[in-house]
Chain A
Amino acid sequence: MPFFRQTYCDTTQSVNMAVVGLRRWAQALSKGRRSGISPFLSGSRAASGPLKSELPGSYPSTPEQKAAAAKKYNLRVEDYEPYADKGEGYGDYPKLPDRSQHERDPWYQWDHRDLRRNWGEPLHWDFDMYIRNRVDTSPTPLSWSTMCKQLFGFIGFMLFMFYLGEKFPSYQPVAPKQYPYNNLYLEKGGDPEKQPEEVKNYEI
């Protein structure tokens, strides 16, 4: 594929641009993949976009189709597994393991260092979710259920204890505790025959 240097326009370079454009037309006509009038009209189109055979296709039903799809996606036939054909529109796109880029070796010299990916590697359907700024699927020391139980158990316990704390608040008493019935005379074992002395707790 010819490599075209981008020239940013300048009146002195417009002639250059015209020559480049003319060259493109000539090359497209001679080697162009698209037939018909379109390469003639816009020669720059011939060098852009994937071929029809490189685009994702329909679900592969035969082993030959599976092999062709695996080759297309740069996978081995043993590794290639399409999504189930449930009418969801996945076609022959490979089902890769749901592992995020966090789990890849941070020290290996990847072609794209920030994405931890090599050129030509098949992209996961949810690749944009599995980059290093998004979801992390790294293994955790505890299982998911244990972690959820501990966190939500902690939060639930705290909420319950706050509820109890509202019911039984803490405060500093401002006066001694006052009891009714003459300071609980009978309950404290006072003689029921004798008249108890009056207890005055406060005066208004």
Chain B
Amino acid sequence: MHSPLLMTTTLLIIFALLINPLLLTFTPSPLPNRWHSTSVKNSVKMAFFTSLIPLFLFLDKGTETIITTWSWMNLMTFDISISLKFDLYSITFIPVALYVTWSILEFASWYMHSDPYINRFFKYLLMFLIAMIVLVTANNMFQLFIGWEGVGIMSFLLIGWWYARADANTAALQAVLYNRIGDIGLILAMAWIAMNLNSWEITQVFTLASNQDLTLPLVGLILAATGKSAQFGLHPWLPSAMEGPTPVSALLHSSTMVVAGIFLLIRLNPLMEQNPLTQTLCLCLGALTTLFTALCALTQNDIKKIVAFSTSSQLGLMMVTLGLNQPQLAFLHICTHAFFKAMLFLCSGSIIHALNDEQDIRKMGGMHQLTPFTSSSLTLGSLALTGTPFLAGFFSKDAIIESLNTSYLNAWALVLTLVATSLTAIYSLRLTFFVTMGHPRFNPLSPINENNPMVINPIKRLAWGSMAAGLLITSNILPIKLPVMTMPTPIKLAAIIVTIIGLLIALELALITSKQHTALPKRSPYLFSNMLGFFPTIIHRLPTKLSMILGQNIATQTVDLAWLEKVGPKASTLLNLPLITTTSNAQKGAIKTFLMFFTLTIMLTLPSLL
């Protein structure tokens, strides 16, 4: 069979399947009530099964394809066309994203069923998915930028879904502003590439950039990834984004959108390979992010915030992997992380709804007796997150830590990453302990049950993914870079040892909690962790206040003051006044004396003239 043709056809079918439900929304007639589940969810499901064909073609034959369709802009020698690249990364990511989205859409049909605008919600989610696929398959920077901005805008609309809530509006605004700061970096990189390499096609960029100093565009790209993937410095928007509905958190802010920054760096990794400065920057930034956000996750009480910080920590780990010059490992972690993180969010959503919209883990407990399947999935997801052997997270996380331990790198980055791995185990156990174990700390409510297949089936699918995805992907895809095969046994077991230490510490702390040895934790480190390192408190108050007061002053007072008093009429008055005073003071007014002298001079000189 002609595999490139088959591949190209199936890929274009996927696009058509996803865009089809949106076309119906452009007609004036109202959408059918069940449009969200009949049209949107089914099209995503079909797109997923269709996307398996290119995946199997790739796994079997190694077929990759670049589809260049429409020549958009031709400016002298600079061409931009719609160009879709289907290589290892996009061919593997698309089925993963579609599988996760299918599960989340099915769950969202249940979660959002009482929302009057559910059709619009699904439309937004579908638009987001299309933008994400445009981003992932982009073969030129312009198309990538379109996808980049598209996911940013949909994130804004979805976080602020309940727009009557001021906190949701603030969170959406925060997401947009922090992403915008990152976009400065992306635009800087694009401008540099356009000016110096005269092309935005990624393959051409790789060829042309081999002898150039790429520090500036790479720093721009790292800034873009910092904004989009919530690295330290531009991270506060991610926990705030939990204001949005749980399906939004599951899809955007754990599996797909937030990995866009990491994906960008993976795509453009050949540019980074010869630049040790940017690799060190990625390494250190990622290590700092993973530790800081893991520290913050330790003391959070909102179930969604814990999972959000966990996402941020794993994104830091992906950044560390990029700093190790291992883009494929980072990509593997993206794929495996998508499964168990989405499952964690869906389980959280199910528990929240079951407890009548209670999100505080201090008011949960005993869910294992009440919702055994959901709590088991929560535990499974947490185990996969901590890197329990042979679950999905193990294959990626263990490989990353092995590669970390056997590389020549910044020792502090290594220490931070290992500590963060241990902290991952601690907050995961804390989450599981507070939610599923012990006795319920809430009043008996209307019956809590798990009899709705729209909830159970998605979680089940993602649970299978969390168990099998790591094994399937590593078995079928050959590593591009040779992994280090020989290392001392303690180094090999370092990840497990550190995780077990974390689990034991967490268990010990959990026992202390139930025996109530001390009334309150030590204030200072607890507050540092609980208030997110005081980063949002300081950064959202001081610079904002200063710039807004400055703006207000300039607009209302300084402009008028300048134009009327310092530069305009009053200034000319002030300048002219000394001149006028001097000139008038010079006039003594003795006109008769002047005339007399004038006449005398004339009379004295006149005879000589005559």
Contact = CB atoms under 8 A, between A and B. Distances in A.
B533 interface: yes
B413 A165 contact: yes
Given A89-B561, A129-B548, A151 B173 contact: no
Contacts of A169: 408-411
A110 to B, nearest CB: 12
B414 A88 contact: no
A135 B173 CA distance: 13
B411 A151 contact: no
A56 B409 CA distance: 65
A7 to B, nearest CB: 26
A71 interface: no
Interface in B536-561: 537-538, 540-541, 544-545, 548-549, 552, 556-557, 560-561
A13 to B, nearest CB: 26
B557 A147 contact: no
Given A132-B166, A133-B173, A165-B410, A172 B487 contact: yes
B528 interface: yes
A88 B554 CA distance: 11
B412 interface: yes
B527 interface: yes
Interface in A77-111: 87-89
B215 interface: no
Interface in A126-166: 126, 128-129, 132-137, 140-142, 144, 147-148, 150-151, 154, 158, 161-162, 164-166
Classify chain A's interface size.
Answer: 20 to 34
A114 interface: yes
A132 B411 contact: no
B183 to A, nearest CB: 21
Contact of B552 (A129, A137, A161): A129
A171 B491 CA distance: 11
Contact of A126 (B414, B524, B548): B548
Interface in B484-530: 484, 487, 491, 524, 527-528
A133 B534 contact: no
Interface residues of B, number: 43
Nearest to A160: B412
Given A133-B166, A148-B538, A151-B538, A164 B487 contact: no
Given A89-B556, A132-B166, A135-B544, A170 B410 contact: yes
Contacts of B173: 133
B549 A126 contact: yes
Contact of A172 (B284, B410, B491): B491
A151 B533 contact: yes
A168 interface: yes
A114 B169 CA distance: 11
Contacts of A114: 164, 166
Interface in B293-348: none
Nearest to A148: B538
B541 A136 contact: yes
A77 to B, nearest CB: 26
B552 A126 contact: yes
Nearest to B548: A129
A165 B541 contact: no
A87 B560 CA distance: 11
Contact of B412 (A87, A89, A161): A161
Nearest to B410: A165
B535 interface: yes
B527 A88 contact: no
Given A132-B166, A141-B527, A170-B408, A162 B284 contact: yes
Nearest to B524: A150
Interface of B: 164, 166-167, 169-170, 173, 280, 284, 288, 405-415, 484, 487, 491, 524, 527-528, 531, 533-535, 537-538, 540-541, 544-545, 548-549, 552, 556-557, 560-561
- Closest 8 A/B residue pairs (Cβ): A165-B412, A165-B410, A170-B411, A147-B534, A132-B166, A171-B408, A165-B411, A161-B412
19 contacts: A88-B557, A88-B561, A89-B557, A114-B166, A128-B548, A128-B552, A129-B545, A132-B166, A135-B545, A135-B548, A136-B541, A151-B533, A154-B528, A162-B288, A164-B411, A164-B412, A165-B411, A165-B412, A165-B415
